[in-house]
């Protein structure tokens, strides 16, 4: 595995790869890698001749008071994990390398962001699409891999790729979970023992919503209320949101008549957890998400 720290070096490498007709898979991460990330790496090895991963904690997607400074970092371990899972090139730039000067162009996402996490994090997805636009150009990726745990991000990236005519193909990979159903996340380390026990009920609440749809319920308001009630009953976390929306357009619905997402965000004492399920109008899991 080759470690690259500058944009110019990576551009030179990817130019050569393209000249040699090699396909490139790309996995953007903020590091502190866990099984969710390594699943993306394993998927990437199936499709691409060369697999590139990046580790970059992007300051543009953190708002005031958010956890940029204390976001967990462990570069040495991340290097070992990346190599073990077949990454060929690991890109680890500094903030100054990625943003050497004040930007003259500002990217703004005007759809799919006023709901879910985007509603309470104004500007977050502007930061996401800014860094991804740079990374897609630098890596020249044929395939880019994203986990469906952050399904809103997947929907926004889908819009970015479609609207700006990137040749990169988005590969959405199912959420990786612990054996008890908790979605894997770098922020899980901040849960207390009691909160860790309670956190499993986020996924159980989503499954309850899914079962309601399977049983014939088509009213989004009714499903949202029952999912909220379940979370309030079994956890001490503060609900940020429970939403049911079309996917990937992320629009409100009066009745369930197409593919949807049920998504939750719950704030525990030191960790805000998100989870979701994406299902058809009948409650089944679709084969193709985006």
pTM of this structure: 0.89
Active site residue 203: no
Determine if residue 184 is labeled as part of a ligand binding site.
Answer: yes
Lowest mean pLDDT among 6-20, 61-75, 90-104, 134-148: 61-75
pLDDT recorded at residue 36: 87
- Check pLDDT > 80 for residue 288: no
pLDDT recorded at residue 121: 84
Work out the average pLDDT over 39-64: 95
pLDDT recorded at residue 35: 87
Domain 186-279 top-level CATH class: alpha beta
- In contact, 27 and 89? CB cutoff 8 Å: no
Determine if residue 156 is labeled as part of a ligand binding site.
Answer: no
pLDDT recorded at residue 102: 92
Determine if residue 150 is labeled as part of a ligand binding site.
Answer: yes
| Confidence band of 281 (pLDDT split at 50, 70, 90) | very high
- Check pLDDT > 80 for residue 290: no
Q: Using one digit for the tens of pLDDT, what is the confidence trace for 21-48? A: 999 999 999 998 988 899 999 999 999 9
Work out the average pLDDT over 158-170: 97
pLDDT recorded at residue 257: 96
- Catalytic pick among 37, 124, 201, 203: 37
Work out the average pLDDT over 57-64: 90
- Check pLDDT > 90 for residue 289: no
Calpha distance 267→249 (Å, rounded): 25
Determine if residue 36 is labeled as part of a ligand binding site.
Answer: yes
pLDDT recorded at residue 179: 93
Determine if residue 187 is labeled as part of a ligand binding site.
Answer: yes
| Confidence band of 8 (pLDDT split at 50, 70, 90) | very high
* Exposure class string for 166-178: b at 16+ Cβ within 10 A, else e: bebebbbbebbbe
Work out the average pLDDT over 221-246: 97
Parallel, antiparallel, or unpaired for β 260-267 and 143-147? unpaired
| Confidence band of 70 (pLDDT split at 50, 70, 90) | confident
**Sign of CA pseudo-dihedral 173, 178, 179, 182:** negative
Q: Tokens in use for 75?
A: 């570069």
Examine residue 17 and say whether the peptide bond preceding it is cis (omega within 30 degrees of 0). no
- Check pLDDT > 90 for residue 67: no
Calpha distance 265→70 (Å, rounded): 20
Q: Using one digit for the tens of pLDDT, what is the confidence trace for 120-130? A: 888 999 999 99
pLDDT recorded at residue 63: 83
Q: Tokens in use for 25?
A: 């898979």
Determine if residue 34 is labeled as part of a ligand binding site.
Answer: yes
| Confidence band of 280 (pLDDT split at 50, 70, 90) | very high
Selection from 133, 162, 157 nearest residue 145 by Cα = 157
Domain 2-173 top-level CATH class: alpha beta
**Sign of CA pseudo-dihedral 124, 126, 128, 130:** negative
Determine if residue 222 is labeled as part of a ligand binding site.
Answer: no
Calpha distance 244→204 (Å, rounded): 16
The residues spanned by each domain of the chain are 2-173, 186-279
Determine if residue 61 is labeled as part of a ligand binding site.
Answer: yes
> Residue 162: which residues within 8 A CB-CB, separation 6 or more?
none
pLDDT recorded at residue 57: 95
């Amino acid at each position: 595995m080759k470690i690259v720290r500058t944009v110019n070096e990576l551009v030179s490498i990817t130019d050569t790869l393209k000249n040699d007709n090699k396909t490139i898979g790309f996995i953007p991460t903020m590091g502190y890698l866990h099984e969710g990330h390594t699943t993306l790496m394993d998927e990437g090895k199936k499709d691409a001749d060369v697999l590139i991963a990046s580790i970059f904690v992007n300051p543009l997607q953190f708002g005031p008071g958010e956890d940029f400074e204390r976001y967990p970092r462990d570069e040495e371990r991340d290097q070992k994990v990346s190599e073990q899972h077949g990454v060929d090139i690991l890109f680890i730039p500094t903030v100054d390398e990625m943003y050497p000067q004040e930007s003259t162009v500002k990217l703004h996402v005007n759809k799919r962001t006023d709901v879910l996490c985007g509603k309470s994090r104004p500007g977050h997805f502007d930061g996401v699409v800014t860094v991804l636009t740079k990374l897609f150009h630098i890596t020249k990726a044929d395939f880019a891999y994203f986990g469906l745990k952050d399904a809103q991000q997947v929907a926004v990236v889908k819009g970015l790729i479609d609207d700006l005519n990137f040749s990169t193909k988005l590969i959405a990979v199912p959420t990786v979970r612990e054996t008890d159903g908790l979605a894997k996340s770098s922020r899980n380390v901040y849960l207390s023992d009691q909160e860790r026990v309670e956190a499993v009920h986020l996924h159980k609440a989503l499954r309850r919503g899914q079962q309601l749809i399977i049983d014939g319920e088509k009213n989004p308001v009714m499903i949202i209320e029952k999912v909220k009630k379940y979370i309030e009953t079994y956890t001490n976390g503060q609900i940020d949101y429970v939403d049911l929306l079309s996917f990937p357009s992320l629009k409100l619905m009066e009745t369930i008549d197409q593919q949807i997402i049920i998504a939750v965000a719950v704030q525990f004492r030191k960790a805000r957890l998100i989870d979701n399920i994406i299902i058809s109008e009948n409650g089944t899991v679709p084969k193709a998400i985006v």
